[in-house]
Amino acid sequence: MKKLSIIILSGLLIISCGNSPGKFLEKGDKQIANSEIENAIISYQKIIDNFPEDSLAQTAQYNIAWILLNDKNNYSRGFELLNKITLDYSETLIGKSAKEDILNFPKWLMIKSSDLRSDTTINEAIRTIDYLISEYNDDPIIPEALYLKGNIYLNDKKEFYRALNTYQEIISKYQGSSFVPMSQFMIGYIYANVQTDIPKAKIAYKTFLKNYPEHELAPSVQFELEYLGKQINNIDELISRNK
């Protein structure tokens, strides 16, 4: 949400600035661009420690907050620093940016989880989802977060019982969410196609059709029910379709 804009915002603030805080900020920005994360933190911290009254100190704090969030996955500390910035600099551009970041934080955590999964840092993705759930358990985004977690357990970690438990949690706690019927479908899918537990698959699919007969997945569920336990080679309808 902010990684590139940190440097852009910093650059705007150091135009025509030749003093020491400006030089430290410029140095930190270059270190960020070169992925020298720890060195960048040191450069920004020098502004905060040595020039606390300078206007660039707030920029340095903001940059450190997003290093903690983006690069170090330290969500508690990063959020704490964003909150401090909103209190200390409520009327400034950076203070207002930090306030907006806080409002969008659950959504950002969701995006972060997906990004971590794409980067194959699966355990970090799950840890991020768990943090989101623990800190924002009443947020409307939670069913989506849990559904992503279930998919990670199913497809990436191959921990099928954990996936089943996660989908069941959505069904139990978040009735009315669009992710409830999807979770019911996934439970049937796992029993039918992963664990080959036909009786449980049949129960899960029939429950889906009973509760969500008009859902867009209903035709797929009906198809699965018709051919539960059959090998593809033995399904005449599929064979005729492929001729």
pLDDT digits (tens, 9 = 90+) for 29-62: 999 999 999 999 999 999 999 999 999 999 999 9
Residue 4 pLDDT grade (very low, low, confident, very high; cuts 50, 70, 90): very low
Provide the angle, in degrees to the nearest 10, between the axes of the packed helices 3-13 and 56-70.
Answer: 170
How many CB atoms neighbour CB 107 within 10 A?
Answer: 15
Average pLDDT, the chain: 89
User: Stretch 103-121: mean pLDDT, rounded?
Assistant: 94
Question: In this predicted model, what pLDDT tens digit does every residue of 226-236 receive, in sequence order?
Answer: 999 876 555 45
How many beta carbons lie within 10 A of that of residue 219, not counting itself? Answer: 9
**79 and 166 share one domain:** no
CATH for 53: 1.25.40.10
User: How many folded domains does the chain comprise?
Assistant: 2
The answer to whether 144 and 167 are in contact (CB under 8 A) is no
d(CA 144, CA 124): 17
Q: Which amino acid is at 109?
A: L
Q: CA-CA distance, 186 to 196, in Å (whole number)?
A: 13
Provide the residue range defining the domain that includes 128. 106-241
pLDDT at res. 238:
41
pLDDT value at residue 20: 83
Three-class secondary structure of residue 177 per DSSP: coil
C-alpha distances in angstroms, 78 versus 69, 200, 238? 5, 44, 54
pLDDT digits (tens, 9 = 90+) for 159-205: 999 999 999 999 999 999 999 999 999 999 999 999 999 999 999 99
- Is 8:43 a contact under the CB 8 Å cutoff? no
Domain co-membership, 96 together with 114 = no
pLDDT of residue 129 exceeding 50, the answer is: yes
Average pLDDT over residues 147-165: 97
Q: How much is the pLDDT for 229?
A: 80
Residue 119: predicted pLDDT: 82
CB 62 within 8 A of CB 94: yes
Residue 159 and residue 72 share a domain: no
End position of a domain, from candidates 50, 69, 103: 103
Residues 131 and 93 in one domain: no
C-alpha 170: how far from its chain's center? 17
* Same domain (yes/no): 137, 177: yes
> How far apart, in whole angstroms, are the C-alpha atoms of residue 166 and residue 114?
17
